[in-house]
Amino acid sequence: MATTFEDAWSVARDVDGWLLESQGRALFEAAQRVPQGTVAVEIGSHRGKSAVLIAMGLPEGVRLTAVDPFDDPRWGGGPESLDMFRANLEKAGVLDRVDLFRGLSEEASAQWTGLPVGFLWVDGAHDIESTLKDFDGWMPHLSKGAELYVHDAFSAVGTTRAILKRFWFSPTVQYTGCARTLVKFRVQPLTLSQRISSFFGITSRLPFFLRMVAIKVSRRRGLHGLERRFMTVDNEPLI
């Protein structure tokens, strides 16, 4: 019987991480569409929450490469996070579908000799320099029509600046939607009307970004009442 999102989420929801269920569903469904003859690549694996969802969604025979140095203290990195990553993939029954590159995204992209990348999930460091390296390093390895998903978009300032810098009026990267802070793109040559519609799609996320900045500033200043006002949309947490 085919794996469903509910099967995958029943494992992934207990893994420590920062994904909303709607974002987990978006990853699982994107993984189901990864074409044969290509691979999925994940930048930033932590303890395997997103890797479990992607690997469980992939069609038979399609593999995931997970890239993470597992040593970044900002996310509690260290040998234990690598052990937990492996244990969570094993629990999900997908350890044998995942190749691990233990190192930085820029090292992995520079050395890449694998199949074209049909799905790229960017969830590593969220500063502008790292995110630009993620985009620029992997872009030459993407297959035509590849899907590119980015986490903490229009939330982290660095990630947002990198998206605006590279994709705002790009001739090849089309905004296709979002699940809160997860933003979706497709990479293929665009017509002028696709470029214009992508430009407005990205622009439409800017009010959300201002709201996220307001939350962060309120939090830093100890203005918790204000922070709570910005924090929910339709009674759901914003992030």
Ligand X SMILES: C[S@@+](CC[C@H](N)C(=O)[O-])C[C@H]1O[C@@H](n2cnc3c(N)ncnc32)[C@H](O)[C@@H]1O
Applying CB under 6 A, the residues found at the interface with ligand X are 17-19, 43-47, 49-50, 67-69, 72, 75, 77, 104-105, 123-125, 130
Nearer to ligand X, 15 or 190 (CB): 15
Q: From the CB of 2, what's the least distance to ligand X, in Å?
A: 23
What number of residues does the chain have?
239
Residue 1 near residue 80 (C-beta atoms within 8 A): no
Give start and end residues of each alpha helix (H) in 67-191: 79-92, 105-111, 128-138, 157-167
Nearer to ligand X, 27 or 173 (CB): 27
The answer to whether the Cα torsion of 190, 152, 162, 32 is positive or negative is negative
Beta-strand pair 142-150/117-122: parallel
Q: From the CB of 128, what's the least distance to ligand X, in Å?
A: 12
Nearer to ligand X, 12 or 62 (CB): 12
Nearer to ligand X, 17 or 118 (CB): 17
CA separation for the pair 80, 214 (Å, rounded): 35
Beta-strand pair 236-237/117-122: unpaired
Q: From the CB of 200, what's the least distance to ligand X, in Å?
A: 29
Q: From the CB of 76, what's the least distance to ligand X, in Å?
A: 8
